[in-house]
Amino acid sequence: MEYLVYGPIFKNVLNFVDGRKIDDIMGATIFSYAGMLQFTGNVLLISGQGNDFEEIFGDWFNKNKLSRDGLIKFDNPTILATLQYFSDGTWHNDMEFGPKESEITNFEAETLRILNKNISVDSKGIYIIRSVKDVEFYESLWNMKKNDKFKIMSEIITEDCRPEMYETIHNSIFKHIDIYSINKPESFSLFSVDSEEKALDIIKSIGKPCYYRVGTKGSYMVSGNEAVFVPSVSIKENTEIDPTGCGNASTAAATWAIGEGYDLHEVAAIGNVAAAYNVLQYGPYPDFNDEIRKNALSLALTLAEDAVKC
């Protein structure tokens, strides 16, 4: 498989600042999967499959003719994540269900087996979202690489973006990934800064490539001392419905762009376009085909012309 997406999938309950509540939305790594599907069909999702999977995700998988080969069954409901948004743009998740404690050891072993089975000499990249506390997992994944062109992208989870986690990320995780992604609030917390400029200075000093997301403003792609900013884009004016999952979708799309060899400004633009499709509805984008992919890439390459070096 050329591309892999790995992480947990959720059934979301969304509580918005204005009092709206939306139940039973597909979420978490499903958004990442959709972000990469926006540009390629050669991608496999590796995740857990709860006993209610078909009820929640079945129609979407069937409509898009998606493989279930990377799904690992567990005898419990899908993770239920209740997401509370706050007025400052931050959010908090309360989660329940997922694999039972008695299943975890076998579940983890099967996860590594499926990852190893699907990473080949032809593989180009994987998007992962997993706590940096699981250092052994990152080490195992790094050792599965069959060639240098295979790029490991880690979207650092919000809960790990705290000052006390920086040493673990810097010393134990960065040497087992090729690129990482964080958003603006996460960077302020992780680096103990209060501006994009200060965050970018630290990202540059680290030296590890970073896809840096700054919300509705757009995104930066940083590699070494070089950074480019690309503004956000809208697919249709005044049709933005829900930003949930835009970071996941854009980061996974950026992973594909890196694997395909696009330049920094093109990577950022491709990520922004995935987010633009993601925001059009509650849950992931519903339908993928060659025409949609062609249009998405065309829009991204046009958007890339607006890139600014920083």
- Percent of the chain with pLDDT strictly greater than 70: 99
Other C-beta atoms closer than 10 Å to the C-beta of 216 total 13
Q: Which of 26, 31, 9, 47 is nearest to 251 (CA)?
A: 31
pLDDT at 124: 98
- Residue pair 48/30 in contact (Cβ under 8 Å)? The answer is no
Which strand (E) or helix (H) includes residue 281? none
Mean pLDDT computed over 210-215: 97
Confidence (pLDDT) at 92: 81
Task: Record the tokens describing residue 127, joined without a space.
Answer: 């998007």
Summarised one tens digit per residue, pLDDT across range 116-145 is: 999 999 999 999 999 999 999 999 999 999
Taking only the tens place, the pLDDT of each residue in 35-94 is: 999 999 999 999 999 999 999 999 999 999 999 999 999 999 999 999 888 887 777 888
- Enumerate the domain spans of the chain: 3-309
pLDDT at 274 over 70: yes
**How would residue 227 be classed by pLDDT, with cut points 50, 70 and 90?**
very high
User: What backbone phi and psi angles, to 5 degrees, belong to 65?
Assistant: 55, 50
What pLDDT, on the 0 to 100 scale, is given for residue 45?
A: 98
Asked whether residue 238 carries a pLDDT value surpassing 80, the answer given is: no
- For the segment 137-192, what is each residue's pLDDT rounded down to a tens digit? 999 999 999 989 999 999 999 999 999 999 999 999 999 999 999 999 999 999 99
Distance (Å, rounded) from C-alpha 41 to C-alpha 282?
22
pLDDT of 110 over the 80 cut: yes
What pLDDT score was predicted for residue 209?
Answer: 98
pTM for this model (two decimals): 0.95
Architecture of domain 3-309: 3-Layer(aba) Sandwich (3.40)
Instruction: Give kind and range of the element (H or E) at residue 41.
Output: none
